[in-house]
Amino acid sequence: MDLRQFLMCLSLCTAFALSKPTEKKDRVHHEPQLSDKVHNDAQSFDYDHDAFLGAEEAKTFDQLTPEESKERLGKIVSKIDGDKDGFVTVDELKDWIKFAQKRWIYEDVERQWKGHDLNEDGLVSWEEYKNATYGYVLDDPDPDDGFNYKQMMVRDERRFKMADKDGDLIATKEEFTAFLHPEEYDYMKDIVVQETMEDIDKNSDGFIDLEEYIGWQAYQGGDC
């Protein structure tokens, strides 16, 4: 198929892959959108282009000649073709789009891993994370910005312990990913709910009233 036909197929797969009920996963982390462009295939396939390649990679494609773009696209398609039969199925396209959605998570984990695995042993202990993240502020009990870093550290420690399946306070990369992005792991759902409640329940009475909910929605920039 030519490039236009491929993008039309991609557009359908993108719609299918994203057609699920809206979930408030941004209570814990904000997932960037697949693209900041308008999703209107009647006008252009720019949105699908970003969703398929990733926004940053798509920018590099814009600088390529048609021949270079076609060659680069061919290399990407070979990665999508999981069974290497020379064809890209709808399921393979959906899997690729889902991978593109999660790629920012992997990049974030890799970036933070380098900054927290202080002894470079391939693991991140709670002590390493605490020292790297809070070491420079814990000595100041009254920071200028008024933020309670000790309270934040207690919350992080609680989440770290839940992500740490074997309870040794030393995280593998998978456990560290669950710590940084708990909304992506079923066994971390309780901590997501607990932190969400704490964020919204401003008077700490164990309930979320209408005023608290509307205030949180306004802060999040969402619709009630």
In our burial notation (b when 16+ CB lie closer than 10 A, e otherwise), range 108-125 reads ebeebbeebbeeeeebbb
CB-CB contact of 126 with 168 (8 Å)? no
Question: How much is the pLDDT for 145?
Answer: 56
The CA-atom distances, in angstroms, between 147 and each of 69, 139, 152 are: 48, 14, 9
Question: How much is the pLDDT for 159?
Answer: 97
How far is 38 from 151, CA to CA, in rounded Å?
40
List of residues 6+ apart from 192 with CB closer than 8 A: 25, 27, 28, 182, 183
CB-CB contact of 175 with 165 (8 Å)? yes
Give the start-to-end residue ranges of the domains of the chain. Answer: 37-81
60: three-class secondary structure by DSSP = helix
On whether the pTM is more than 0.85, the answer is no
Neighbours of 39 (CB within 10 A): 19
Question: How much is the pLDDT for 15?
Answer: 45
Question: How much is the pLDDT for 216?
Answer: 81
CA geometry: angle at 108 spanning 62 and 31, to 5°?
A: 75
Query: Could you tell me which of 145, 169, 173, 148 has the C-alpha nearest to residue 157?
Result: 169
Question: How much is the pLDDT for 147?
Answer: 61
CB-CB contact of 109 with 176 (8 Å)? yes
What are 20's two structure tokens?
Answer: 């699920």
167: three-class secondary structure by DSSP = coil
Query: Could you tell me which of 128, 121, 119, 108 has the C-alpha nearest to residue 178?
Result: 108
Question: How much is the pLDDT for 219?
Answer: 73
The whole-number mean pLDDT for each consecutive block of 10 residues of the chain, a chain of 224 residues, reads 52 45 41 61 70 69 81 84 88 82 84 92 95 78 64 93 96 96 94 92 89 82 56
Question: How much is the pLDDT for 22?
Answer: 33
Question: Helices 3-18 and 90-116, interaxial angle, to 10°?
Answer: 70
Question: How much is the pLDDT for 128?
Answer: 94
How far is 1 from 109, CA to CA, in rounded Å?
37
170: three-class secondary structure by DSSP = strand
Beta bridge partners of 171: 124
